[in-house]
Structure 1
C-alpha cells in the first residue's frame, strides 16, 4: 500500500514527543500494562532519554506529533547500567514497586513482577540469562504504530531506518520479544530478515526454538547487522 503523502520518519524529540509516545504506548500495549503504575513507569520513557540516537517516530506531518515509534538501544548491557544509574533515580519513588530480587515474595501480578525486575534487577528483565542473546545480538527494539497508520508500509520503513542507525553505532545484531500468539507479527519480522533465537527456552515443550514457556509465552527473534 502506498505511504501517506505527508507522513515521515524523524528522530525522536524531547520533550516535544513525550505526550505522543505515551499515547501510542497506552493504545498499543497489552491489557496487563493498562493499569497504574505500569502505565507510568514501564512505558517508552527510558529509550529516548538513554539512547536517543536509535529512537525514531512516525510523524503524520500535520502537527499532531507522532503516530508510531521505534525505540532501541545498540547496547543492552550499557542500557541496563544506565537504567539503574540514570533513569530509576529520576522516577517518583512512591510509584516504584519494591524490588524482590531474590524471589522471596510470591507475586501473582505479572506487570508488578516485571516492574520489580526492571527497577531492581534490570539485567534479569532484559534477557541476560538467555545464553548468548545480548552478546551475539546486543541491541534490542520496540516498535508500535497506531491503528490509523498500520498496514501502510511504515513498519518496514521504521525497521529499515533503525537498522541504519544501529549499523552507524557499530551494533552487530538486534533482538526483540513478541507475544507467541502474534502470528501476523512473526510473518512481518520474518520478511524483514529476523529469525528465531536458536535456543530452546521451554525445555522442548513447544517443539519450537526461541519460545518461552509458562503463561503468556514470548518468542524471541534476532537479526544480524553487517557492519
Structure 2
C-alpha cells in the first residue's frame, strides 16, 4: 500500500487497523473497473444517515419529523459532503483512471462526496459503529453546534438545488413572467422550471427573490411528494425474493 494513504489518516482523525479498506474506499471505479468503492458508498450512506439522524433526534427533542428530515438531508447529501471532503483534503488521494484524472475528477463534487461516504463505510468495516460514529460526529461537530430549526424553513432555492444535484439532475430555471403594480408597490410573478421532469410552477411576491423562493418551494414539494409516491409504489409492487 502506498504511503500516501497512510498520510491521509491524520486529516481523517482516524487510524485504520486494516489500511487496505481505506485504499479500497479511495479507488474510483474508473481506476480499475471494479465497483467495490461504490458498495462502500452504499454502506457509508446508510450509516451516515443513521448517525446524523440520531444526533438530530437527540439535539432537537421538540422537532417534527419533517423538520428533522430536512435538516438531515442538508447534512448528508451533495453540497455538504463535498465541503467535508475538501476540509479533509481528499482530492489528491483519490485513485482515478486516466480519463477522470485528465478531466479533473479529483476536484469534481460528486466524486468527492462519494469518497466521503466510502470512507465512512470503510471505517465501519474496520472498527464497528462506535468508532465510526465518534469520528463522523467530529467531522460534523462545528455544523451541528450552529444548526437550528430555522434552517428548515428558509431558502427554498438552495434546498431545491441540493435535491436536484443529489439526483444528478440539471438545475432549475427561473424566469419573470409578469411584473405588475405601481413602482412603489410592484409584484413579481416568476416561473420555476425543471425540464427533466417536465414541471413548471409559478410564484408571486413583492420582489423577484421572494417570487423565486415561493416557486421553488412549490416545485420542491411536488418533487418530494412524487418521490415518496414512487418509493411507496416500488415497495408495494416489488414481489421480493422470499416465498
Higher strand share: 1
Which TM-score applies when normalising by structure 2? Answer: 0.24
Considering fraction of residues, name the structure with more helix: 2
Radius of gyration: which is bigger? 2
TM-score (norm 1): 0.26
